[in-house]
Each structure stands twice: as C-alpha cells, then as structure tokens.
Amino acid sequence: MTEYIIRRLLQSSLVLVAMSVLVFAGVYAIGNPIELLVNPMADDAERARVIANLGLDKPLWEQYLTFFKGALTGDLGKSFVFNVPAVGLILQKLPATIELALCAMVIAILFGIPLGLWAGLKPDSIAGKTIMAGSILGFSLPTFWVGLLLIMLFSVQLGWLPSNGRGDTVNVLGFEVSFLTADGLSHLFMPALNLALFKLSLIIRLTRAGTREALLQDYVKFARAKGLRASRVVGVHVLKNIMIPIVTVIGLEFGSVIAFAIVTESIFAWPGTGKLLIDSITSLDRPVIVAYLMIIVTLFIVINLVVDILYSVLDPRVRLGQGAGQGAH
C-alpha cells in the first residue's frame, strides 16, 4: 500500500511537471499582453520598462525556470492585471467555487439516490419510466442553455430569484459563504441546480443500474425469505452494496463539477475561480491562467489518488498496486 502510494505520488509529480511545461509554453503563445497593459500613448522607453518589469524580455526557458523555482515555494507569479500574487487571487475566489460545487453535489445526491432507487425497484412503473426519461433529458440538455432557461423563468418571467452574484455572505471560519443567509441562498439556488443537473442524471442511472443488479443477488432473496420488511431489505441490503460504485463516482465527479462550474459561473456571474479564468483568458493575464490550471490539475491528481485509496478501503477485494492504474473513469 505504502509503496503504491509513493509510486503514484512520484508519477503524479511527473505529470504535474509535464503539464506545467505544456501549459506554460502554450499560454506563452497567446497574444501579446503588452498591447493591453501599456498605454498606447506610451513611448518606447516606457514600453521596454514594463516588458522588463514583467520579465517578458527574457527567453522562454529562462522565464519557465523562474516560474518553476517560484512554483516550488508556492509562488505561481503575479497577475499582470491586478499586480497581486496569482495564487492569492485564486484562493480568494476558491471558496465561492467550492461552495457552489458542494451544493450542486448535495442536490445531485439527495435527489439522485432516492429517484434512482425508485426507478430501480419499479422499472416498469410510470414513475420509473418518467424518471429515466428525465435523466436522458438531463444528459442531452446543454448545461449553459438550461442556465439561460432558469434565468428566463425565475428571474425574468416570475421575478423570484436574482440572476447574478453571490448575495449576502457570512464569514464562517474565515471563509465567506452564501448558504447561511436568505439572500445568499436565493442567489445560490439557480447556479447550484444548474450545475447539479448533469450529475443528478448520472447518479440516478448509476443507482438504478446498481439496484436492479442487487435485487437479483442471493443475499437479497435470502433477506426477503427471512421475512425482513421491504424497507429494511432496500435500506440495508441493497443500498449498502450499491454505495461503493456510487461513492467512487461522486468522488471522481467532484473534480469535473469544479471544471463545469466555469460555465455555470459565467452564466450567473458567480464570483468564483471559473469566472476568474474566463476573465483572465480575455484579458491575457497569463500568470493567473497558468496558476489556475496548475491548481486544478493538482486538485484532480489528489482527487484521483484519494478515490483510488478510498475504493480499496471500502472494497477489500480491490488490491491496489497490481495494475490498478488510474481507477474508474
């Protein structure tokens, strides 16, 4: 186990370094930030001063080395636009994104598992079929368009919910959160629902498939034969056994929820990291783009590793290290 974790960590650091080279070189190729940063009226001396100040006069490999040395100490460069450390800028926006992603996951789990169970227990009932049809729609609907429909309905037509921003926030343990105020909740509802929709469909399908499979197993037949109540058979014998794949997928999908938050945050002007990324791409703020990507890649590597380890803890049959590789996708 320890050997496996060490090997995975080494492998992950290699991936990180490779990603940093690719991202750095790639982002370096985008446009010329000087055009946006220097006053067009400035003379050549002023331009040269700004370029030297940002370190853009040095060759690419030298800039990368400076970046790499900084990265080892947690410094991913300064934002061209805001002139503050890029990591700080992202960490400041991260709580908003995490809050949105967590709320979306909670919605997906709270509704997805019961609906999936229902559809699995009664696959031929009208309700079961409706749930499945709904989940197909959830897969087909493009996320951003659903966001627009939500705004159209709740903000424009009904005027019930605000369409942008975070609303009032409360400081909890040093983080600003929206879900504890009524105003914040009204701001959070639509983006969280929008982000949850795809994962909700996924969890419904997983739970349904797992339930249908579990119902055919001998232990369920035996539990029924023992005369246990249906609620106990479903709640204990079925649910417990289908939780392993569901927990794995929930873990793995958390990263992708954060990635998809980029779209949702842009629609609802939710001030998180995703919106920061899109704004930085538009304003050619290279250090922020690179820093965001490095942080999110690290996050993904950590999530994948944690899920693989958790998986082996939950299911003793899984032996890590014997070609287990990257786990489920």
Q: Check residue 66 and give left, alpha or beta (phi > 0: left; psi -120 to 50: alpha).
A: alpha
CA angle 321, 315, 1 (to 5 degrees): 30
Interaction between residue 192 and other proteins (CB under 8 A): no
Interaction between residue 209 and other proteins (CB under 8 A): no
The CA distance from 113 to 181, in Å, is 27
Interacting residues of 237 by C-beta distance below 8 A, sequence separation 6+ = 214, 219, 220, 223, 228
Nearer to other proteins, 228 or 299 (CB): 299
Nearer to other proteins, 110 or 137 (CB): 137
Interaction between residue 141 and other proteins (CB under 8 A): yes
Subset of 277-306 contacting other proteins (CB under 8 A): 277-278, 281-282, 289, 293, 296-297, 300, 304
User: b/e per residue, 200-235, with b = 16+ CB within 10 A?
Assistant: bbbbbbbbbebbeebbeeeebeebeeeeeeeeebbe
- The one-letter amino acid code at 259 reads A
Interaction between residue 130 and other proteins (CB under 8 A): no
Q: Could you tell me how many residues of this chain bind other proteins (CB under 8 A)?
A: 44
DSSP-derived secondary structure for 279-299: HHHHTT-HHHHHHHHHHHHHH
Q: How far is the CB of 49 from other proteins (least distance, A)?
A: 28
Token pair for 75:
């410094």
**Which of the ranges 60-68, 112-120, 221-229, 257-265 carries the binding residues for other proteins, by CB under 8 A?**
257-265
Interaction between residue 13 and other proteins (CB under 8 A): no
Residue window 25-64: x/- pattern of binding to other proteins, with contact defined by CB under 8 A: -xx-xxx---------------------------------
**Which of the ranges 121-129, 148-156, 182-190, 227-235 carries the binding residues for other proteins, by CB under 8 A?**
148-156
Task: Give the C-alpha distances (Å, rounded to integers) separating 48 from 33, 43, 53, 190, 283.
Answer: 13, 9, 8, 47, 20
Q: Check residue 161 and give left, alpha or beta (phi > 0: left; psi -120 to 50: alpha).
A: beta
Nearer to other proteins, 130 or 326 (CB): 326
Q: How far is the CB of 22 from other proteins (least distance, A)?
A: 9
> What is the contact surface with other proteins in residues (CB under 8 A)?
15, 23, 26-27, 29-31, 136-137, 139-145, 148-149, 151-152, 155-156, 163, 255-256, 259-260, 262-263, 266-267, 277-278, 281-282, 289, 293, 296-297, 300, 304, 325-326, 329
